[in-house]
Amino acid sequence: MDKTRIEELRSRAVPPARHLIDGTSRDASDGATLDVISPIDGSTLTTIPKGTREDAQLAIRSARRAFDDGRWSDVAPAARKKIMLKWADLVEAEADELAVLGVRDNGTEIGMAYKAEPLSAAGTIRYFAEAIDKIYGEIAPTAPGALGLIHKQPVGVVGAIVPWNFPLMIGSWKLGPALAAGCTVVLKPAETASLTLIRLAELALEAGLPPGVLSVVTGEGIVVGAEIAESQDVDALVFTGSGATGRRLLEASARSNLKRVYLELGGKSPNIVFADAPDLAEAAKVSAAGIFRNSGQVCVAGSRLLVQREIHDKFVDLLVANAEAMQVGDPLDPRTQAGAVNSENQLAQNLQFVEEARTAGRTINTGGTRILHDTGGTYMAPTVITGVNPDDRVVCQEVFGPVLTVQVFDTEEEAVALANATEFGLAAGVWTSNLSRAHRMISKIKAGVVHVNTYGGADITVPLGGVKQSGNGHDKSLHAFDKYLDLKTAWIKL
């Protein structure tokens, strides 16, 4: 997408958004709205409905009816597949508009957003559409005179709550397998990134998805999200976001119908560089991108750098040079490498982490400040902090901003201990030329994904999920179906 096209789309007015419930666009039941503030320049982009519990209940009831009457779950897999493939085509055809709208809403740089948002969403929907008619039940090996059949059936109504950093990508990770399995879905986007998901659902209707199968209700998590989590008519809940919210969702499940809850939560991912890394310059470049792209607002961001002592100073110098060379600014400028922080609240939180480290005597090698004040937007310089202690808050807790801490290690065993010294276990990286060491590290690091001599690369064919307090269950790959399918045994005497 060239700059002329981007500027043309940037100049378009964005009409007030509305819920999409039971195939119909609706305002909030009490007419209340929330302003959508663009992190690019602080301007009010449009409004979204400030959803009420009644709005969420209406969407849940429509999803329950749609599931129970079989308008989607009883449709032949090949027919569901046809609709979903058409949906993917519509998303791909509107990729320019979706990418720019999303950037105006959440601040991700356009170079990343175009691929990671609409194109990724289209590919994900297409992947799960193609899988629909390839998911089989089983025949059990039984004694003579009996037949054991294992059926796979859709779980029912799914509540999906997704974050603001990659709404289309992460949203499609939930919607693709849930809808392919035959479930119905009530989707609650983040307050600061709802616009593209509303449009995604509208395109699903255009493709032929029956009304009620997918509804989108916007608003505050403490209202709309809470109603979805507490509903007796929601059979499964899928969520990507903070650990604190994840705990509340588990509590809501316990208070209501014990709905299954799948959580992809925070990360504090270690990125480990051994002295025998094959190319230190490449490792520094990729490591910088692995934390600073999208201003650090990536679940799997390599936010804890562990460097072997003999190369520590050299590697930090390389890393700082990459950080300072990174172009931070207008996310709709194709040259930008790191866009805006999502909101004023998020930026304030990021800066507080840095200030605490500074006060504790840690070294801020570069960054640590708000920049581009004259734009009106929320921008932060890529930040590298050395001399940290393992129990520093900036080391232990997820910042979700462009803030990287650096720790020193001597031995492989020490690297493993430091890598695992966190409550999280989402992702990790290892840089080494020693194949045996790479396999040992993969085995010993407690994380859902371990990158070797790269960081951040993984496509839809492999699962993404965390261990420890990074969550449970998996998005992506055929394993994602496990969340949306029930197993039912039929035992037949012959």
DSSP states of 174-240 as a string? HHHHHHHHT-EEEEE-BTTB-HHHHHHHHHHHHHTPPTTSEEE--S-IIIIIHHHHH-TT--EEEEE
Tell me what the pLDDT averaged over the chain comes to. Answer: 97
The residue from 191, 227, 264, 398 that is catalytic is: 264
Q: What is the pTM of this model?
A: 0.97
End-to-end Cα distance, the chain: 63
Mark whether 117 is an active-site residue.
Answer: no
CA dihedral 99, 474, 285, 443 (to 10 degrees): -170
| Same fold for the pair 3-265+471-493 and 270-459 | no
DSSP states of 21-68 as a string? ETTEEE--TT--EEEEE-TTTS-EEEEEE---HHHHHHHHHHHHHHHH
CB within 8 Å of 175: residues ≥ 6 apart? 125, 160, 185, 187, 200, 214
Residue 313: how many CB atoms within 10 A of its CB? 12
Instruction: Identify the residue whose tokens are 């025998």.
Output: 276
Residues 352-381 pLDDT 10s = 999 999 999 999 999 999 999 999 999 999
What's residue 468's pLDDT?
97
3-class DSSP assignment, residue 386: strand
Instruction: Report the CATH superfamily, name and number, of domain 270-459.
Output: Aldehyde Dehydrogenase; Chain A, domain 2 (3.40.309.10)
In eight-state DSSP terms, residue 448 is S
What's residue 23's pLDDT?
97
What's residue 238's pLDDT?
98
Residues 177-200 pLDDT 10s = 999 999 999 999 999 999 999 999
What's residue 458's pLDDT?
84
C-alpha to C-alpha distance for 349 and 357, rounded to whole angstroms: 13
Q: Residue 413: left if φ>0, alpha if ψ -120 to 50, beta else—which one?
A: alpha
Nearest to 108 by CA among 327, 188, 116: 116
The yes-or-no verdict on residue 457 having pLDDT over 90 is no
Nearest to 313 by CA among 406, 389, 402: 406
Beta strands at 485-493 and 146-154: parallel, antiparallel or unpaired: antiparallel
The radius of gyration of the chain from alpha carbons, rounded to an integer in Å, stands at 23
Which token pair is 277? 């890394």
Instruction: Tell me which amino acid residue 224 is.
Output: V
Banded pLDDT at 119 (limits 50, 70, 90): very high
C-alpha to C-alpha distance for 239 and 263, rounded to whole angstroms: 5
What's residue 384's pLDDT?
98
Q: Give Cα separations from 90 to 22, 179, 211, 236 (angstroms).
A: 20, 17, 18, 28
What's residue 478's pLDDT?
97
Nearest to 326 by CA among 349, 354, 296: 296
What's residue 127's pLDDT?
98
The yes-or-no verdict on residue 29 having pLDDT over 90 is yes
Residues 415-439 pLDDT 10s = 999 999 999 999 999 999 999 999 9
Q: Which CATH architecture has domain 3-265+471-493?
A: 3-Layer(aba) Sandwich (3.40)
C-alpha to C-alpha distance for 277 and 285, rounded to whole angstroms: 13
The yes-or-no verdict on residue 1 having pLDDT over 90 is no
Mean pLDDT, residues 58-72 taken together? 98
C-alpha to C-alpha distance for 426 and 418, rounded to whole angstroms: 15
φ, ψ (nearest 5 deg) of residue 262: -115, 130
The yes-or-no verdict on residue 20 having pLDDT over 90 is yes
Domain boundaries, the chain: 3-265+471-493, 270-459
Mean pLDDT, residues 90-97 taken together? 98
C-alpha to C-alpha distance for 356 and 392, rounded to whole angstroms: 9
What's residue 269's pLDDT?
98
Instruction: Identify the residue whose tokens are 């801020």.
Output: 364
